[in-house]
Amino acid sequence: MKAGFVNIFGKPNAGKSTLLNALLGEKLAIISSKVQTTRHRIKGILTTKEYQLIISDTPGIIEPKYKLHEKMMRAVKEALEDADVAILLHDLTDKDTSESHGIFAALTLKVPVLVICNKTDKVGKERTAAAISFFKQQSYCTDAIAIAAIKSHQTDELLKKLTDLLPEGQPFFAEDDITDLPVRFFVGEMIREKIYELYEEEIPYHTTVLVQEFKEKSTLVKIQADIIVQRDTQKGIILGEKGQGIKALGMAARAEIEKFLGQKIFLELFVKVKPKWRDNDIHLKEYGYH
């Protein structure tokens, strides 16, 4: 039996969460076209008769500007420390490899590293070939492969390479576990995903979601969540004219959560203003950013 931690790193928006979902074959991590969507380390567990892969999605690597960012980068650091195999994800739609290369070289990883060039569906063959050849020459790179995570293209090939690099060992988790995080966490994430989808500019970045109640009743699950923003004006934008904004958000989030739980839910959302929560240790802890 082989077992170990495969941790994914890269710039914001490279497709790390999309890759985690593609490898797991189900949607666990939230995705958006905006940068800085993922704020936590999210472990997805893939167990077969031959191996157990514990795959970690991490926040995109950035220079921290406020305390929330520092917590996000701490999640990256933790994942750097326990990786058995590291995936460094490069976005082929970037104009060249230099930004990714700068980040990858600075990580100074001591474990096997697979550099994955993602989004082959968006670029020409020449750019893909040039990126692969560039990364294969780097000292940190054990092997490089090109994929389109969104289409699960080449992900079987990738799984084969990953399992080859995995150490021998016994499973860390039960065979039917798919993650180490509670359902409540994913409920909050799905609401956050819809905020990234439905609101523009600074709104998603000033917002977090706190699931206050998750009660399984006989016919449905009752969920109450707070949407936390930093300013009154942001509360107004979330609510929208005559409450149309929050209504649309509630409907979109409910559909997503029902699909995830396979069960009907009753979802109640409140918007609360907590000035400067992103820089406040007590609030950050309360909202799950440890």
Ligand X SMILES: Nc1nc2c(ncn2[C@@H]2O[C@H](COP(=O)(O)OP(=O)(O)OP(=O)(O)O)[C@@H](O)[C@H]2O)c(=O)[nH]1
Binding site for ligand X (CB under 6 A): 10, 12-18, 31-33, 35-38, 59-60, 118-119, 121-122, 148-150
Asked whether position 58 contacts Mg ion by CB under 5 A, the answer is: no
Residue 213 interface partner, choices Mg ion, ligand X, none, CB cut-off 5-8 Å depending on type: none
* 92, 146 contact by CB (below 8 A): yes
Q: Does 38 participate in binding Mg ion (rule CB under 5 A)? A: yes
Q: Is the dihedral of CA 248, 251, 256, 261 positive or negative?
A: positive
Q: Return the DSSP state at 93.
A: T
* CA–CA distance, 105 with 31 (Å, rounded to integer): 26
Question: Taking CB within 5 to 8 Å according to partner kind, which of Mg ion, ligand X, none is near residue 119?
Answer: ligand X
Q: How far is the CB of 249 from ligand X (least distance, A)?
A: 19
Q: Whole-angstrom Cα distance, residue 203 to residue 238?
A: 8
Nearer to ligand X, 26 or 121 (CB): 121
Residue of 7, 17, 21, 47 interacting with Mg ion (CB under 5 A) = 17
Q: To 5 degrees, how large is the angle CA 34–CA 97–CA 78? A: 65
Q: Interacting stretch for Mg ion, rule CB under 5 A, among 30-38, 148-156, 210-218, 233-241? A: 30-38
Cβ at position 121, least distance to ligand X in Å: 5
Report the nearest approach of ligand X to the CB of residue 12 (Å). 4
CA angle 37, 280, 65 (to 5 degrees): 50
31/269 with CB nearer ligand X: 31
Buried b (16+ CB within 10 A) or exposed e, 70-97: ebbbebbeebbeebbbbbbbbbbebeeb
- Nearest approach, Cβ of residue 290 and ligand X (Å): 18
Residues in contact with Mg ion by the rule CB under 5 A: 16-17, 37-38
